[in-house]
Amino acid sequence: MEKSLVYYTDLRARPGMNLPKKLQGLVRAAGLGKIDMDQKFVAIKIHFGEPGNLSYLRPNYAKALADVIRELGGRPFLTDCNTLYVGRRKHALEHIEAAYENGFTPLSTGCQVIIADGLKGTDEAEVPVEGGECVKLAKIGRAIMDADIVISLNHFKGHESTGFGGAIKNLGMGSGSRAGKMEQHNAGKPQVDQALCRGCHACAKACGQNAIDFGDAGKALIDHGRCVGCGRCLAHCNFDAIQNEDYNANDELNRRMAEYAKAVVQHRPNFHISLVIDISPNCDCHDENDAPIIPDVGMFASFDPVALDQACADACNNMPVLPKSQLADNLAAPGVCSCGDHFIDSAPTTDWRVCLEHAEKIGLGNREYELKVVKL
C-alpha cells in the first residue's frame, strides 16, 4: 500500500507570519483546494470545549480554516454533537451557550454553530459501516451526515479511555449522537474498590446517568443497569478507587470509535487537521485541564485520518516528558517502568494502537505515512 501524505509545520511565528496564517498555509500546501467546494455545505467537526477547560482549540483557528473554505466557494459551519455526561453540552441550548462562552460565535469565527444531533441529542442518521465488525449501523448526528464535505479540526491530546484524542476520536465519538456515544462506550462497566473509596462523591457529581449511589458505609456503589461505561468516574477519582475490571473494554471502545469514524467519512470528500498543542492528559470534555504532559509539537494535516493520528502520536513520543505533570508523576511512582509510549504511560489501561490497527483493517486509512515539512 502506498504511504499516505501527512503535512507538518512548526509553531514558530516570526514577524509577518502568525499561527492562524500558518494554519492556512498548511492546509493549502496539504491540498485542501483539491476538493470541489463550490456552494457545498462543509461541516467543520470541532470540540467547543467544556466551560472551565482552557486547553480546547482557540476559535481563531476555526475562523482561519473557515476563511479558506469560503475562498474555495464552500459554505462552512462549526459542529459537534451532544454529550452523555453531566456538564454544559448535553442538549443543544446549553451546548450553543457553552460554545459561545468559549468564543465560538458567528462574529468571531465567521460561520454558524450547529449542534448536529439536535435539541436533545436524538436527531440522528443510521449509517451502515462498510467493513464494520462491531457496529452495523452507526448513529451519527444528522447535520454532520447532511453536509457535503466533512473536515475535522482536532485538538490532539491525551485521553483516559482511548489513550489519545485526535482525528478518529473527534470524528467517531464526537459525531455520534447520544445513543451513538452510548453504543461506543458500553463495552465495560467500572467497579469501586470499597477499601480505597473515600466517599468524596466526586464520581457521582461527574456521572451523567445517576448511576452512583452510596451505601451505609458512605462508599460509592455503581449501578451497572444505569451505567453506560463512559469512564468519567474513573477520571474524577483521585484515590484510584474506581477501576474497569474488563481491561478489553477500552480496546472495544477504540474499535467501535474507528468504525463510527468510518461511517462519518465514507463516500464523501474529507480532510483532517490536528493541532498538537496544550497536550493535557485527559479529554477536553472535562471542566478542567491538567498540566500538559509534553511540550507543544506543531500542526499536522492530511486526507488520511489514520495516518494523521499515527504521525501525531509518533511526534509526541519523540518529545520529552514535562515535569509536574500526570505523566511525570506516573513514571516517578515506585516500581513503575516506562513502556516507551507517553500516552500509555499516562493512562496505563489504554492502548491507542488498537484503534489505529482496526481503522486500517476496515479501510479507514493507512498507518504508513510520509511526513512533508511545510516551512512558513
DSSP code for 34: G
Average pLDDT, integer, range 152-173: 97
Per-residue pLDDT reduced to its tens digit, 337-372: 999 999 999 999 999 999 999 999 999 999 999 999
**Are the beta carbons of 103 and 58 closer than 8 angstroms?**
yes
**Cα dihedral 297/4/14/66 (nearest 10):** -100
Q: Sort 302 into a burial class: Cβ within 10 Å, 0-12 / 13-18 / 19+.
A: buried
**Are the beta carbons of 65 and 273 closer than 8 angstroms?**
yes
DSSP string covering 154-218, please? EE-EEETTTEEESHHHHHHHHHB-HHHHHHHHTT---EE-TTT-----HHHHH-TT--EEE-TTS
Residue that is written with C-alpha cell 466533512 in the block: 150
Question: What's the longest Cα–Cα distance across the chain?
Answer: 65
**Are the beta carbons of 245 and 222 closer than 8 angstroms?**
no
For the entire predicted model, the pTM comes to: 0.89
**Are the beta carbons of 350 and 252 closer than 8 angstroms?**
no
Per-residue pLDDT reduced to its tens digit, 20-49: 999 999 999 999 999 999 999 999 999 999
Inter-helix orientation angle 178-185/249-265, to 10°: 140
Cell triple for 116: 448536529
The Cα–Cα gap between 119 and 30 comes to: 36
- Domains of the chain with CATH codes: 4-187+247-373 (3.40.50.11440), 191-243 (3.30.70.20)
Per-residue pLDDT reduced to its tens digit, 169-225: 999 999 999 889 988 987 667 889 999 999 999 999 989 889 999 999 999 999 998
Residue that is written with C-alpha cell 482549540 in the block: 57
- pLDDT higher than 80, residue 264: yes
Per-residue pLDDT reduced to its tens digit, 86-119: 689 989 999 999 999 999 999 999 999 999 999 9
Q: Please name which of 238, 102, 120 lies closest in space to residue 179, comparing C-alpha atoms.
A: 120
The Cα–Cα gap between 227 and 88 comes to: 20
**Are the beta carbons of 158 and 347 closer than 8 angstroms?**
yes
Q: Please name which of 275, 83, 269, 69 lies closest in space to residue 165, comparing C-alpha atoms.
A: 275
Residue that is written with C-alpha cell 467500572 in the block: 190
